[in-house]
Amino acid sequence: TLPSLGLYGLGTMGSALALNILDNGYGLHVANRTTSRVPEFVGEAGALAENLTGHESLVAMARAMPAPRAIILMVPAGGAVDSGIAELLEVLGDGDVIIDAGNADFNDTRRRTDEVESSGVAFLGMGVSGGEEGARHGPSIMAGGTESVWAGLREVIEAISAKFEGAPCADRFGPDGAGHFVKTVHNGIEYADMELIAEVYGLMRYGLGKAPAEIGKVFGAWNDGPLKSYLVEISAEVLGAVDRISGGPAVDAIVDRAGQKGTGRWTVIEALRMGQSASAIEAAVAARSWSAEKEVREAGAEILGFGREPLELDAADLEAALLAGRIVAYAQGFRILDAASDEFGWSLDFARIAEVWRAGCIIRSALLDGIAGAFRGDLPMGQLIFAPAFAGMLREAVPAMRRVVAASVAAGHPVPALAAALAFLESMALARGTTDLIQGQRDFFGRHGFDRVDGGAGRHGPWWD
């Protein structure tokens, strides 16, 4: 039997998810921190309000709901989740579930799972992607929790999720923090992909001298090819839009100072902590951070003023470079997932993750079906970039990517994510790199020892003889 369903937090995402649940024929209890939002939301629900019950507070809602209860918290990640949990634990008991549907740090989700479950209440950490539109009509859902909690909620979660060729884009990927970790890495990939697109926009705009609307058309055309994706599609729309006040390009009315709520940074922090490097994602986080220093950059333009030269680049090269960059963003994301799966014993199913990302979420793209296929097929060393289909695409795209990065660097256009992605590909395609010298240096100053090419570990150089 399905538990009775409650949702706390009627902000943009919470309201949209609530309407989605009602739309799918489920009854729903709702509450909100600011109580006046509840009757307002009931009004917005229109005909869907028939199965909707509003409550004065989270606790009042939990008390009024018949057991077993499943209560979705859709509140900002952090303290608000902890306070919601603390209140709920006063009321809930065996058989009830608390679902955190926000963008939680998976470390918090692991801690909360222990805390909540030690009191007999179950906990599900549920990453939800797709923005307002996704939440309303079908998001991609990445859950972490016990199999039995998932089994009890699966029907509802699959019903409200996006569908790819009829298959629900929702799954449980492992216990406790697994779902929120997968969502965090999703966002890391999102950051990298957005930055790569923005860099290519910059090259067309400031290097090729194209107007935003023209660039929007280029993205629009690319969206019919291998770059087909939600992010390229919306970039075309953003660039094509006209500002209501100035009548000029909408993008020109936007201050170039990027916000970030933490998921991209967490992806990089976790990657580094696990001895991984997600260089394209890191470059994207860095680019947002630098962008936030608007005043410093304005001073830099005056004081340093290196200047930017025009570029000559083929659109086809830019398209190929963006495609290769995107493949790296996904590949680095999956490498982090792999490391976390090992560390936490999650046995993540990478093919399923790619499948769940095929619809509903922000990083949905034409590549994901192939990525799922690659993880189900012959994948040398477990590396996505070595899967036959992707290796083929990369061998074709890297020469173009080299031309783009080289020309951009020579003409003074910063392309941190493209350059990082290219450096990763080049490094992974060299059997012998330059860390022989690093090892020599380490041994020289600290007797750290090195492996010899002719066998033997922990050896020292002649500088110690």
List the catalytic residues.
183, 190
Report the chain's terminal Cα–Cα distance, integer Å: 76
Bond preceding residue 212 cis, omega within 30 of 0: no
Among 130, 152, 175, 212, binds ligand 6PG (CB under 6 A): 130
Smallest gap, in angstroms, from Cβ of residue 265 to ligand 6PG?
Answer: 8
Task: Count interface residues toward ligand 6PG (CB under 6 A).
Answer: 13
Q: Per the annotation, does 261 bind a ligand?
A: yes
Q: How many CA atoms lie within 13 A of 316 on its CB side?
A: 2
Binding mask 351-370 for ligand 6PG (x = CB under 6 A): ----------xx--------
Smallest gap, in angstroms, from Cβ of residue 321 to ligand 6PG?
Answer: 23
| Residue 336: both structure tokens together | 């982090």
Which phi and psi angles does 242 have, rounded to 5°?
A: -110, 135
Residues 6+ apart with CB under 8 A from 128: 13, 17, 101, 134, 135, 139, 140, 141, 142, 183
The yes or no reply on residue 395 touching ligand 6PG (CB under 6 A) is no
Q: Per the annotation, does 358 bind a ligand?
A: no
Instruction: Please state at what angle helix 37-45 crosses helix 12-23, rounded to 10 degrees.
Output: 40
Q: Which residue is nearest to ligand 6PG (CB)?
A: 129
The yes or no reply on residue 260 touching ligand 6PG (CB under 6 A) is yes
Which one of the spans 68-76, 93-101, 129-137, 270-278 is the region binding ligand 6PG (CB under 6 A)? 129-137
The yes or no reply on residue 263 touching ligand 6PG (CB under 6 A) is yes
The yes or no reply on residue 129 touching ligand 6PG (CB under 6 A) is yes
Instruction: Between 143 and 400, name the residue whose CB sits nearer to ligand 6PG.
Output: 143
Tokens 């509903």 belong to residue: 360
Which phi and psi angles does 439 have, rounded to 5°?
A: -65, -40
Residues 6+ apart with CB under 8 A from 12: 132, 135
The yes or no reply on residue 187 touching ligand 6PG (CB under 6 A) is yes
The span from the CA of 50 to the CA of 46, in Å, is: 8
Which one of the spans 89-97, 207-215, 254-262, 447-455 is the region binding ligand 6PG (CB under 6 A)? 254-262
Integer CA distances (angstroms), 22 to 150, 167, 173, 216, in order: 20, 20, 26, 37
Binding residues for NADP(+): 9-14, 32-34, 75-77, 103
Would you list which residues are annotated within the binding site? 9-14, 32-34, 75-77, 103, 129-131, 186-187, 191, 261, 288, 442, 448
Q: Which residues are at the interface with ligand 6PG (CB under 6 A)?
A: 103, 129-131, 187, 190, 259-261, 263-264, 361-362
